A and B are shown apart, each in its own frame.
Chain A
């Protein structure tokens, strides 16, 4: 007998977790002597009431969709990929090499090329942890964390010693040629009469992210590979008995996960900075964990959770600008969301299950 209907599991549990996180965050804001209601209004004002605010919200959401999907795909195979951050960093390197050294005639080709290289580099960075997990039994969580740090060093080395133009001081690559610059929403949707998304960084890669959601849905629920990934995640022994190779699924799932995390670099590096900088990922790889947990590993959930975190990110920037609340408040909210939807899942779920059970009993009595 199912304890709880599916819809309740998919919506009520994350919603209650979110409410708990919001309540605790409000307490934190109160504790530092600010007004949580005013703060929330300011966040909505800054992130959702103007088209340029939306432009930033969607820009951040693009990153979080990619990294959220990356974590979600790995979760389906019961693998915890904390390495999205490193995979996106290395993918940034791929995007930079692709944009700097291939003479692209038009941005659309450049976008295809950079998506390919971002995915390739991201997947490659996930390959070694995946191989070690599959073949040598090294714990993927630890190896992906280590690879985040190694990625940071590799990126630092490449930027300082290889990609930095002569006479430049900051560790960053040269600007990408103009032909590779992606059109922003401002370019696409503004008219002379009605300027929209003014100077906001959201760009065409948002649509790539939406496409990735659809593709991940099709992959996980409509293909044989997706079935095998879920089967493997549900029970490794059963999957092996059915003829699925653990090594193959672990490696393939991590490659897909790494490629998805890597795609984020297209948005930040080619779409926004238009050059490779040291800190382009800004922790988005880690936010993917919160997004995937909250979105219940489903592309629709990931999309909604990514939008929520995009809103939080942009709203948090507004708060830091206008009030005494630092941006780090968002990190706290993110931590609380991870805590409640991930680690304290049972605490939220158990009482709900009890309520549904007692409701069913009452129905049976009638």
Chain B
């Protein structure tokens, strides 16, 4: 295989891993605070629609992203009210949110644009454009003729949208927030032993709501990235299971930020390979494309099974906190 081909696959890995990474970090905040969230998918979907719709109407992608974040946070609020305030089942609430988003996005898109549940194509300032880093080549022919180092710089490092770089910065930031700040300590404690946090006079409900809302913001950015950067419009069910792959990556990473980055890059790579090569010849037999598509899920099951290091979730995860009276 040519070096350029490999670089191109890695380049699309970066682009495909970004929404996974954002959603994965979103889930990290929520689950570290003890709130399971299988509604990542729905929140991304809602954000994708509203960001594309507002970006198209206003012509400003930043306004679009803000609207997307708003939509995602609204769903987060529902999740918070159901699972924190009313101490309902967090998993069922997540399922409901996924369906709510799946249905409402099509209804709204159809009502707004009458194009069969999609938005019109976005162009110009309604999209996040790739950023060319200084000195990078942009023309395909120039890149093909450049030196390997220049190829890597121009193709892989340069030419992404701002969200890709932003999401990479979020990894150390998340690590710092969770493991080096007072808020992070409390957030993790709420996920492990809420009673202890409560005894210290800190509001369990407050911390958990904060975590769920941060999750909403990050899912909102992820959805906006899907509709305005990776693709140039909203289409029905465009998240295509990414919320669940992100959840898989979160388990794969055992709820740790740096590992989340590697897990998302791995799953992004699998997606990039599946997109680029329909089936792969390995000497005597071929690996079907369906296997590549299923690989993230299979890997997650293997990890969950504890055969390759056990994944232990935050101890109070999924349990509503009932204050003693």
Contact = CB atoms under 8 A, between A and B. Distances in A.
Interface class of chain B by DSSP: helix
Contacts of B233: none
Contacts of A330: 103
B30 interface: no
Given A136-B305, A157-B288, A326-B110, A335 B88 contact: no
Of A139, A142, A152, A329, the most chain B CB neighbours within 10 A belong to A142
Contacts of B180: none
Interface stretch (B161-169, B224-232, B293-301): B293-301
A338 B99 contact: yes
A344 interface: yes
Given A149-B297, A154-B290, A332 B88 contact: no
Given A138-B306, A332-B104, A335-B100, A161 B288 contact: yes
Contact of B304 (A132, A160, A324, A326): A132
Given A137-B306, A157-B290, A328-B102, A339 B89 contact: no
Interface residues of B, number: 47
A9 interface: no
A346 B87 contact: yes
B106 A326 contact: yes
A328 B244 CA distance: 21
Contacts of B288: 157, 161
Of A80, A147, A149, the most chain B CB neighbours within 10 A belong to A149
Given A149-B241, A153-B293, A335-B97, A143 B107 contact: no
A339 B106 contact: no
Given A328-B107, A329-B103, A347-B86, A142 B93 contact: no
B92 A343 contact: yes
A138 B305 contact: yes
A141 B38 CA distance: 9
B273 to A, nearest CB: 15
A152 to B, nearest CB: 8
A153 B99 contact: no
B38 A324 contact: no
A326 B107 contact: yes
A333 B103 CA distance: 9
A156 interface: yes
A254 to B, nearest CB: 15
Nearest to A347: B86
Contacts of A137: 306
A160 B293 CA distance: 15
B297 A138 contact: no
A237 interface: no
Interface in B267-325: 288, 290-291, 293-294, 297-298, 300-301, 304-306, 313
Given A286-B95, A339-B82, A346-B86, A138 B304 contact: yes
A339 B300 contact: no
Interface of B: 38, 78, 81-83, 86-93, 95-100, 102-104, 106-108, 110-111, 114, 117, 241, 244, 247-248, 251, 288, 290-291, 293-294, 297-298, 300-301, 304-306, 313
**Top 10 nearest A-B pairs by Cβ distance?**
A331-B103, A343-B93, A335-B99, A342-B92, A332-B103, A153-B294, A138-B304, A343-B88, A335-B100, A339-B96
Interface of A: 28, 31-33, 80, 82, 128, 132, 136-139, 141-143, 145-147, 149-150, 152-154, 156-157, 160-161, 286, 289, 293, 324-326, 328-336, 338-339, 342-347
26 contacts: A32-B110, A82-B91, A136-B305, A137-B306, A139-B313, A143-B304, A147-B297, A149-B293, A152-B294, A153-B290, A293-B92, A324-B111, A325-B107, A328-B103, A328-B106, A328-B117, A334-B103, A335-B100, A338-B92, A342-B93, A343-B83, A343-B90, A343-B92, A344-B88, A345-B88, A346-B87
